[in-house]
Structures are given as C-alpha cells and as structure tokens.
Structure 1
Amino acid sequence: MLTRNCLGITSLVAGGLIAGCSSDSSSTSPKDNLADATGTITNACVYDGYAAMQGASGETLCLDTEGTLAFWINADGSYGFPEATPGSTENNTADPIETSTDVGSTMPSDSTVSADKPAEDSTDSEPASETQSCTTDKALYTVNGISYYKNEDGSLYYFDTDCNKTSLSTIAPASSSSENSDDPETDASSASRPGLSSSETATPVSSSSNATPSSSAVTVPNSSASVATPSNGSVPAITYAASGATVENNNNCVTVTGGEVVITCAGDYDFSGSYNGADAQIRVYSPKSDSGVYLNLRGLTLSNTADAPIYAQMSSKTFVVAKSGTTNTLSDGSSRTKSYTYVNSNNETKVDTTGACIYAKDDLTIKGEGTLIVKGNYNNGIHTSNDLRFRGATTINVTAVNNGLKGKGTVDIENGNITIAATNGDGIKSDEGEDAGSIVDNKGIVNIKGGNITITKAGDDGIQAYNYIIVQDSVSEPNIKVTSTGKGIVSDNRVYINAGKIDISSGDDGVHSNQNIYFNGGYTTIAAPKNDGVHADSTLMINDGTIYVTNSYEGLEAWYIKANGGITDVYGTDDAWNAAGGNDGSGNTNQGGQSNWGFGPGGGMGGGMGSSSGFLTITGGVHHAKTGSGDTDGIDSNGELTISGGVVIVECQISGGMGGSFDADGTASLTSKTVLGFSSGSSEKGTNYNVSFTTGNYYGTSNIAFKPSISGRYMVATTGQPAQVSNTSSYQKSVTFPSGSTVYYNE
C-alpha cells in the first residue's frame, strides 16, 4: 500500500488517476474540497464519476465507473493508492487457508501428549487476525489491513471479525455516522460494520396463521434487490408494550404486525419492553449473502404463548446480544400449532415448525454483558440447525423440557456464566452425523474453551456430542459442573479433557466414549456410584491432569488403558481399574474391523482380539486405586498388564474370589520401583509379602511409602520386603491425593 498527501491538479487519464503528490506536504486536506458553499458534502471522492464507498476502517474508497478501486481517502485526509493493478498477481494472493483440525486423522503417539490432543479450534474466534481466512477467494485489494473481494455483480465486500460477509455501502451526501455513540457496551463486531444498514432485503414469508406483512413494508422479488430508501443512520429501535410492537428509525427492513416483528436485512436492531401473546415473535428472514443480524436486547421480556419468541428463519448469522446492565426474559408456548413456509438460500421451499424458545436454522451466536433468561416450555431451550456459539460474559439461565442447548453442527463456548436445567434431555448437545452414522468433518462437536457452565439437571446426559467433545483453556479456564440422570460427559467417538475444573455427578458413567478418551490436563471429579467413573469402549489415555473418582462401580474401564502421566485417585466398589474388551457392561468380544487406537466410528479396538482381551499399561504418573469389599480387583486386565513406570498405590478390600491388588488374565510385568499393594487377600500378580499393616502407620520400601486407609496382611512390592516406615523425610518427592492420602517416593 502507498499512502501520501496529494497537492496540485489531478487529472484523469485513460480511466486512471495521475496525481502530483508530496509525502511531506502540510497543505490543506483534500477533504476541504468536498463541500460546497453551504458546507454540504457533494462528492466524497472529489471527482465526478467516482462512487464513494465506506471502507471497513473508516476510510472512503473511491471506485471508477467500472467499479475498480482508484484510490482511497483515509480519515486523516491522506490518500492511498493500490500498489498493483486489479487482476495482477502482485497483490492478488489468496488469504491463508484456515487450518482444519480433524483430530481423528492422526494416529496418537504413545510418547507424546500433543499427538493425542486436537489443535485448538480457531473457527470464528474474535478478533480475527491477518492469518485467519474467511474465504479461499483471492482478494482484489488490501486497504489498511482489510482484504476486499468482488461479487458477481461487480460490487465490493469484505469480511468482518466474525467472518460475516459485509457489502460496501455508498456514502450519501451529508451522511452521518450510524454508529451508536451512546452504547456503553463496546462491541468489536459493530465497529467492523460501518453503516450498520444492509444493501439488500428479502421478502418475508408469513406463517400459515399469521397476517401478511403490512403494505408499508418494502417487498422485493429476490434477495439481491436494493432497498429503495437508505437507512437514516440510526439503529432501528423496536419497543414492545401491551398493544404490541412499535418501531423507530425503520430502515425499511422491519415489518411489524401486532407483536410479530420480521427483520429482512442485516444490521443492528434494538429491542426493549414487554409483551405476552401468541404473536410475540422476532423473526429473522435475511439473505444469507448479507452480513449478520444483531438482535440487541436492552431489557426485553417476550412471552410467546403458542410459538418461539425468537425464530431465525434465514440469515448468514444471527446474534442475540444481551446488552450490559439489562435482564432479558424469553419464553415459548408449551405446544406448537404454527408452521412456516419459506424459500431458503438454495431457492428451495421449506416448511418449518420451531423446536425451541430461541430457534435458528443457521449460525447463532449468544453474546453481550447482560443477562438472558430462556424458558423452553415446548422442547429445547436454545437450538440451531448449524453452529451455536457463546461469546462475551453473558449470564445465561436456560430451563427446557428437552435439551438445554443444542447446536446440531457445533456448540462452541468461549465465555459466559451458563446455567442449564434440562428436564428430559441433554444439557448441551451436538449430534451432526448421528442420523447417518458417519462423522461430518468439523461438525457434531462440543468445544468448551472457557466460561462457567452449571448443568443443575439433565434428564439424560449432561454434555453429549456425536463427533467429539473437547474441554480446553484457549480463552480462559472452564469451570463445569454436571448433574445428570444419564452420563455426565459422553461422545460416540472421542472425548478430550485438556484443561478446566470439571465436577460430575451422574446416574450412568461419568465420562464415556464409544471410542476413545484422552485426559491431557484439568481437574476432573466424578461421582458415578451405579456405573463407571470413566469408560471408553476402545482407548483411555491419561497423559496429564487429575482424575478423582469419589465413587463408582468400576473407576476406570476401557479395552486399552494407558497412563503416561497425571494424577488419579479412584474408588470403585468392584474394580478400581479394569482393562476389558467391548461395550460398557456388555462383555462384547467382537473387536474386529478396526485399526489400532480405535479411531473412527463403529467397532472397538482392533485386530480380532480374543474373548479375554484387554491391555493395561502404566508408564508414568501418580496413581491411587481403592476398591470395595467382595470379589474385587485393584488394577485388573483381562489381557496383559504392564507397569514400567509411575507411582502406583493399590488398596484392595477383597473378601472372596480371585484377584487382589493386581490381576491379569494374560502376562503381567511390574517393574516400576514405586509400586505398593495393600490387600486383605493375596494378589494374583506381583510379588506378595505377608506383612500385616494397619491404618495408623506408613509402610513401604526405600523407594516408596504410604499410610493405608484399610488394614490387612498382604502387601505387594517391587523392590523387596516392605515394612513399616517410621520417617518419611528421606523421600525426595510426595503427592497428596484429592482424597487426602499422601504418598512419598524416590524416583
């Protein structure tokens, strides 16, 4: 880019612009030439025949009669010129393609954590950087760091920080800024949407039981038609009262019929007031080629007795923004009698019935600094058929008959204080691909990057996804609490716990996957007294973090359990750790048809294993396993057992049967120097010592010492006869488990 102040006479030659310029000029700004004698701006680009368009950063873009950018005028009055002719390769490089992260395409490595962690999802992150791409199309120009592209009709557009496609708007004479200067909440996305008005409208299609939009609405035959009257520069303000809705500053994109408000083009719209009725609805029907629709809630109570109060029928993206300092309450009817016939972006006629209090067919983002209360009396609380995102420190309280939050494509949470009560369904759900039984790339995902999430009640599962669930701290440390009748956190394919504080109380498994589970960080507490604390049909990999299973039937269960690190403190009334093939509780022996590590849907871990199969390997970490009484095993493998590293403490209260502290149906190798087993019966694997122990003393070897919480007379050690330890100060390291016990050891 070349920017300079220009002096003298400027001539138009062969459709181009030639100017006499000086980089050190201190002359009057060229903008002084834009006004006539009355001070009215007559031509923002100075020269006849040039169209003045509003740039993304406040500059004026000047396009010639062919729509080619000739020059621009910055806010400080300086001129800028394109460095390359449009169409040349010098300045026509495509934006970097955003990296896709299909975490299932790479085989994990035993020795590294990173191979088992999906890359952090940067999709729709805010603010966008220059390395982010919203398209693979080649940019025509880059002006002040913003890339511009051309539509088929020759008009220019760019992408804002949310990757919303934003068309340039014409600067009208004597125009004024349309930004909301009195808005106390700074919205980065608003700053990138100069003009706030759209260049397009769409024809709203009424529901079968609603009145036709009034004749005052601007009706156009297709989504590419222009608005006849431009916005006056102010955000439309819709106010609800007992009689219905009224609108001020109508930009010809708002139709009001009683309590029904239909939005037909992109931009910001403010909503306030209170209304209750069968027609209490904000409906968005905006061209998908347009930029996003922002529904700014500024103290709104909207109760629809028959349908959804917010219905985003079509848009590129819809944003529901709870403005700072406001409380907004939305509730829907407990039944549905309406259906909606409309034409979608593919020119297909669709018939739709809303299935949630906030119901969207396209991308939906919830944001803001205020409070949003959602009451889903019919089905789901908040639902979109595509991607559902949460941005900003919004306080959100959702109650729902079925699912609390459902983004069929993805659910992406960066921030917010979210409380969910789902009577019969899941707290949070994403199930793209489930109907077809196959993974859709980058869909069927719940991605939690920050925020505080409390699921006070889930009639089914707490958090459920078909493809994968990832909890990470790419924005802030997530704090998640789940109380569920079913499973706490569950995926048909993969679960990644990379960070955060997670507290689960579940009627079924605490964390469950039909394929693989990876713990790479975080602090996870689980109470699942009737089932497994953590269960993976295929692989359970523990690389880092803390896993505290306070109560379970079996603490950790998978066909292949491998612990490379981390801290585990597990109590199971049956086995504490169990490596066994097949589905949860099924004893399934059909392990064929799947490659190692169990990636992908369908089947378990691979290679045609026998009926008594399983692998349990510990190479690192610090682990405490405790069982209840009965025919119980501390650490049990239905196949091979290998403990070559790490610190392992087992307390097994076996009172009949076979097993004990360590058990394996196949070969067993216990070579780590920091292994201790305490049991009331002998252990099937490992070296047994007849050493009586009580709860009041430490016992161990020169490598490890631990004070048991049970009494007995059989101990397992790997470095010779264990004995009572009177002084623990000689040990180099110690770890206190979440349950309160401390282990001392030397590496």
Structure 2
Amino acid sequence: MLKTTQKKVVFTSLTVLLLLTACSSKQATSQSSSQTTTSETVMTSISNPTSSISANSDYFTNTDLTDSYDESTAATITLSGTNAAISGDGVSVSGSTVTISTSGTYIISGESEDMQILVEASDADKVQLVLNGVTMKGSEALIAVKEADKVVITTAAGTINTIEDSNHSTDDYSAAIYSKSDLTFNGSGSLTVTGNYNNAIKGNDDVKFTGGTYTITSTVKHAISANDALNIVNSDMTLTAAEDAIHSDNDEDTELGNIYIESGNITINAGDDAIHASNILTIDNGTIDIQSCVEGIEGKIVTINDGSIKIVSSDDGINGSDWASTAGEMQKQEGVSVTINGGNITIDMAQGDTDAIDSNGDLTITGGTITITGQSAFDYDGTGKYTGGTLIVNDKTVTDLTQTGPGAMAGFGAGAPGQGGRGF
C-alpha cells in the first residue's frame, strides 16, 4: 500500500504526463492544419464553412467547390460611388481601378459607378473574390482578370449582388465579368450579371459554377461564354441571351470547347442556341427548362445520361454537328454522335424544316423517356440504334428511330431506319 506522499507524487507525475501529451497533440493538430492551409492557400479556411458539395472530380477541383473564407485575415474592398477604400495586403487603388496583385481572399462590398476590380497577379496565384452585398455599374468590365492561376468569385451567404456594364471603350475585356484565366463561381448568395456591350460573363479558359443563385443576361451576345470548358453543378440559373445562353467554343483546339452539366436548376431563353459546345457536351443530371431558342442542345458529341429536360425550339431540339467538318449536305460527319442513356426529355418543335433530334453522325438511344411534339422526330446521317427507353411522338408510342427529317418521306413513320437526310 502506497503512502499518502507517494500517492501525491504518482498523481502529480501522471498529471504532467497528460498535460504534455495534450500539448503535443494540439501542436500536431496545429501543424497539420497549417500544412493543409499551405497546400490550399486560399480556399481551406474553415472559419466560415458553408456548403459541402460532392461533384465529379474529372470536372471540378476542391478549390472550385470550397466557398469558405476567413474574414479575420482577408483584405477588404469597400466601394462607394467612384471611390474605393481598401485594407490589407495585395490590393491597391489608382483612380477608378482597384488592382489585386497577389493570391489571397478579398471581401468586396458597397456600391460603385465606373469602378473596376482588376486581378493582375502571377500565373501561380489563386485569388478569391467574396461578393458581400455588391452593386457595380460602369462602362467597362466591372471585374476583369488579366493574370492568375485561378479566380474564384464567391457570393457570401444571404447577400444580393448586381453587376451591369454598358458600352466599353476597348475590346480588351468584352464582358461585364471577363477572365483571361480559369474562373469559378460559387457560394450561397445571389448574383445578377447583365452584359449590355457583348457577353455577360466570358472566360478565355475554363468557367465553372459550383453553387449559388444566378440571373445572367446578355442583351447583345452570349450569357456565359468559355473558350475551353464550361462546367456546372449545384447551381440555380436563369439565363437570357440575344445569342447563346451557355456557350463553349474553341477555334484553335478541336479537343476544347466542352460543356459538362452535373446538376442544378437552369432556365433558358435564348435568341440562338440554348446550350452550345463546339466539341463534347455531356449532361449527367439536373433540371433544364429551355423555354425559347432556335436550337436547344447542340454539340459535336452530345451525351445525355439523366435529368429533366424541356426544350421549346424553332429549329432542332437536340443537334449533333461538327462545324469544322467539310462533309457536304446529307453526308455523315465523322466523329459526330448524339447518345441518350436516360432522363425525362420533352421536345416541342416549331413547324417546318425542324428536327426534334438531329445527328449529322450517329444517333443512339438506350434509355429514358423522350416525348416529342413536332413534324420530324429523328434525323441522322450515320447509324441509328434504339435499344431501350420510351419514345412518344405526337402522342403515339414508337419502337424504332424511323427517319422523318428532310430527305425522308413526309410524315412520321414513312421512312426506314438508317435512311434520310440531314436536318440543318
């Protein structure tokens, strides 16, 4: 049996040991957190966590999906008329331009007229712009990215943000929001962007949306335009455009000009195409309501795997075409295909020389429910395959991809599978 003094010594030793262990554990945790912050210099702060999004890693990175930020360490930009007050490192003001020159988080608030936020950092810098109740109007691009590795525009929770341009003096940044680097939009607030000069949002590289509520309008050209890729997940969008609503096109690299939609709620009114990709266009899911357009969903390789899609169009509803092809009319374009594996798709066509589903190459349907109202249901110049799913054309269930486009016999059901012309 231990004496009282011996018990005290043992107790004291155990206490010290526990305290040392706790301190060591806390230090290790702190080091781990520091290492994580270093590897994700801008986006890994957990002081203000908001949404947690799971998305296809082939199209979205952790940086794209993370909309948290640390107010205590962020720089601030407070807009007021034709001026701006700033605090923190990496930001300066000269006349009507607020320049961001290094990686970091920048919280923007207030109202301005003819002020521009210009990101001019290094090509290795990640920059997060937090819109915290912003109204910006002016005659140039209101947010312009000249150089950065990636810029993430985050709408703060519960905030309403508005950006609207007018005539520009130059074409250097021909949109209300223009980026020469990768650009991502996320957050849980709302953002209204109106482009009155050219596009509303334009990116020279990738443009991604991973959360938030957006009302995007171009009175002149495209609502959203990207050169390389345009990817959407978990976003509520109302898009109105004089030309295309969602547009990705690359004239220099035929492997680019891609669109990927994983989920979200998207409403579209377009003066030309609702969704246009010069290369690959993939829809994995989502609710897409195309209320008016010339052509609805258009790409070189179109794949629809799931989703609720409604299309009201004056020309083709879904169109597979290669705009770089030299094939003549009514000839198959190599590499062109339309594939529908699932989803609930409704296509309402205008009368005349229009096709609900038109492929200048192959057409394959393996599943889903497709309901078509119009004169011509299917037109393809390659191989047509129907292996599953429900096809309803003008209130009648059909069981094959009978050609009904231009070049086939008039009236649905009059042609034979695999024979017919191209519907442009």
Please confirm whether the aligned pair reaches a TM-score higher than 0.5, indicating the same fold: yes
The alpha-carbon deviation at position 144 of structure 1 amounts to: 5.7
How far off its partner does 1:466 sit?
1.1
Query: Deviation at 1:512?
Result: 0.3
Counterpart residue number, 2:311:
504
Tell me what 2:274 maps to: 462
Q: 2:373 aligns with which of 537, 543, 550?
A: 550
Counterpart among 374, 392, 405 of residue 224 in structure 2: 405
Is the 1:310–1:358 Cα contact (8 Å) retained in structure 2? yes
The separation in 1 between residues aligned to 2:174 and 2:316, in whole angstroms, is 29
Q: Which one has a larger percent helix, Structure 1 or Structure 2?
A: 2
Shift of 1:397: 3.4
> 1:312: which partner in 2?
145
1:536 aligns with 2:359: yes
Q: 1:389-431: CA deviations, max 9, x gaps?
A: 10123333334410011121111000111011101x1110111
- Structure 2: runs of 5+ lacking an equivalent: 1-15, 54-61, 322-335
Root-mean-square deviation (Å)? 3.5
Q: 1:332 to 1:369 in 2, by over 3 A?
A: same
**Is the contact made by 2:265 and 2:287 (CA closer than 8 Å) also made in structure 1?**
yes
Separation in structure 1 between the aligned mates of residue 276 and residue 158 of structure 2, nearest angstrom: 32
Gaps of 5+ in 1: 1-23, 32-72, 81-142, 149-155, 161-165, 168-177, 198-232, 340-352, 588-613, 615-629, 641-663, 665-747
Q: 1:569 to 1:30 in 2, by over 3 A?
A: closer
**How much has 1:445 moved relative to structure 2?**
1.1
CA contact (8 A) 1:259 1:275 kept: no
**Is contact 1:180–1:235 with CA below 8 Å preserved after alignment?**
no
Q: Counterpart of 2:332?
A: none
Of the three residues 240, 246, 268, the one matched with 1:428 is 246
| Identity over aligned pairs, percent | 30
Change (3 A) 1:316 1:481: same
- Corresponding residue SS for 1:488: strand
**1:234 pairs with 67, 73, 88, which one?**
73
User: What is the CA deviation profile of residues 159-214 of structure 1, one whole-angstrom value per residue up to 9, with x for unaligned ones?
Assistant: x3xxxxx49xxxxxxxxxx9684x574689799999979xxxxxxxxxxxxxxxxx
Give the 3-state SS of the residue equivalent to 2:173 in structure 1. Answer: coil
- Distance in structure 1 (CA, Å) of the matches to 2:73 and 2:35: 27
CA distance in 2, matches of 1:286, 1:192: 21
Q: In 2, Cα distance between the equivalents of 1:390 and 1:578?
A: 38
For 1:558, the aligned partner's letter is Y
Q: 1:562 to 1:299 in 2, by over 3 A?
A: same
Displacement of 1:239 after TM fit?
Answer: 0.8
Q: Does the Cα contact within 8 Å between 1:507 and 1:528 map onto a contact in 2?
A: yes
Shift of 1:528: 1.6
* Bigger Rg over Cα: 1
- The question of whether the paired residues in 2 share the 8 Å contact of 1:245 and 1:258 is answered with no
Paired positions, count: 376
Q: Secondary structure of 2:27's match? A: coil
C-alpha distance in structure 1 between counterparts of 2:231 and 2:313, whole Å: 23
Instruction: Tell me the CA shift for residue 30 of structure 1.
Output: 8.7
Give the Cα–Cα distance (whole angstroms) in 1 for the partners of residues 345 and 280 of structure 2: 18
The residue aligned with 1:390 is 209
Q: Give the TM-score normalised by structure 2.
A: 0.79
Is the aligned partner of 1:523 residue 2:356? no
Q: State the one-letter code of the partner of 1:524.
A: I
Q: Are the counterparts in 2 of residues 196 and 267 from structure 1 also a CA contact under 8 Å? A: no
Contact 1:29/1:77 (8 A) holds in 2: no
What's the offset of the Cα at 1:157?
Answer: 5.9
Pick the aligned partner of 2:161 from 307, 319, 328. 328
**Aligned counterpart for 2:177 among listed residues 333, 354, 358:** 358
TM-score by length of 1: 0.46
Are 2:50 and 2:68, in contact at CA under 8 Å, matched by a contact in 1? no
Q: Distance in 1 between matches of 2:51 and 2:418?
A: 59
Which residue is 1:448 aligned to?
A: 261
State the alpha-carbon separation in 2 of the partners of residues 195 and 484 from structure 1: 39
**C-alpha contact (below 8 Å) 2:132/2:161 kept by paired residues:** yes
- Separation in 2, partners of 1:639, 1:393: 44
Paired residues of 1:462 and 1:483 also in contact (CA < 8 A):
no
* Contact preservation (8 Å) 2:386, 2:401: no
Q: How does 1:189-338 map to 2 (within 5 A)?
A: 234-248=73-87, 250-251=88-89, 253-277=90-114, 280-290=115-125, 292-305=126-139, 307-337=140-170
Distance in 2, matches of 1:631 and 1:428, equals: 33
| Cα pair 1:304 1:333 within 8 Å, conserved | yes
CA distance in 1, matches of 2:310, 2:34: 43
Amino acid at match of 2:365: I
Decide whether the 8 Å contact of 1:467 with 1:494 is kept in 2: yes
8 A Cα contact 2:51 2:187, kept in partner: no
Q: Output the CA distance in 2 between the equivalents of 1:276 and 1:369.
A: 25
Q: Per chain length, whose mean CA-contact separation is higher, i.e. which structure has more relative contact order (CA < 8 Å, sep 6+)?
A: 2
Per the TM alignment, residue 633 of structure 1 is displaced from its structure 2 partner at its CA by 4.6
Going from structure 1 to structure 2, the CA distance change for 1:243 and 1:537 (only over 3 Å counts) comes to closer
Q: Classify 1:187/1:497 alpha carbon distance in 2 versus 1 (closer, same or farther; 3 Å).
A: closer
Alignment map for 1:522-671 (pairs within 5 Å): 522-529=343-350, 530=352, 531-552=354-375, 554-559=376-381, 560-571=383-394, 577-579=401-403, 585=406, 631-634=410-413, 636-637=415-416
In the alignment, what sits opposite 1:671? Answer: none
Which amino acid is the alignment partner of residue 426 of structure 1? D
C-alpha contact 1:394 1:415 (8 A) present in aligned 2: no
Alignment of 1:131-150 (within 5 A): none
What is residue 439 of structure 1 aligned with on the other side?
254
* Change in 2 beyond 3 A, CA 1:400/1:192: closer
CA distance in 2, matches of 1:506, 1:378: 26
Go from structure 1 to structure 2 and tell me whether the alpha carbon gap of 1:276 and 1:566 turns closer, same or farther (over 3 Å shift).
same
For residues 157-172 of structure 1, what are the structure 2 equivalents within 5 Å?
Answer: 158=39, 160=40, 166=41
Q: Are residues 313 and 639 of structure 1, via their aligned partners in 2, closer, same or farther at CA, if it must alter by over 3 Å?
A: closer
